[in-house]
Amino acid sequence: MGNPLRERRSAAEWAAGPQVIEIACKVSDFEQLSTIVEADLAALDAAKIPAGWRDTVVKGHLSFGFADAQQLLPTVKCRAHVDVDAVCQRCLEAFRLPLQAEADLLLLRLEQDVDGYDDYEVWELNEKLLRPLDLVEELLIMALPFSAMHVDSVSCAALASAEDESAEDMTTPFAALRAQMAQDNEGSG
């Protein structure tokens, strides 16, 4: 039996065989995600591109089922995470960007409409057959930030230098007055 993430079945077929599919793939297994990461890393000098970025492991799981007793509304709970290599838009250096994809999806056909399932995000299916790998990939792509950046100044050279500059500029506007007053007091005493 092959990798269930690559199999194509209808959403109802996936949900009818309630199963949990473990995700343990490489970034290179996700064609569109790989293309996006590669395009981002292309901004770096070749020597600064992290080696083996395509081999980074995506982990998580998919759990299929139905939202209703009549088994007409297939669902999937997806949890996936990966630390992809990215270029910080502040310091223009490579760093590890954590991506988390978590979604409880109601898998509907385009013409299908339902009410009362507010706990789910509606995911409209363009095709009759669903490949779980495509679902995970799309969720990870949607988790990518518009501009990837370090979140802390310890890791980001641009933030660290900006903090150093602001610390230097933190001299109070009355520092010169204080120095003059201290000098005047010394001279008058």
Q: Where are the domains of the chain?
A: 4-151, 153-189
pLDDT of the chain along its 189 residues, tens only? 578 999 999 999 999 986 799 999 999 999 999 999 999 999 999 999 999 999 999 999 999 999 999 999 999 999 999 999 999 998 889 999 999 999 999 999 887 778 888 889 999 998 899 999 999 999 999 999 998 988 776 778 776 555 444 444 455 566 666 667 677 777 665
Cα-based distances in Å from 163 to 88, 91, 153: 17, 13, 8
Contacts for 164 with CB less than 8 Å, ≥ 6 apart? none
pLDDT value for 83: 95
pLDDT value for 159: 67
pLDDT value for 169: 46
Helices (H) and strands (E) in the chain, counts: 5, 7
Contacts for 70 with CB less than 8 Å, ≥ 6 apart? none
* pTM strictly above 0.85: no
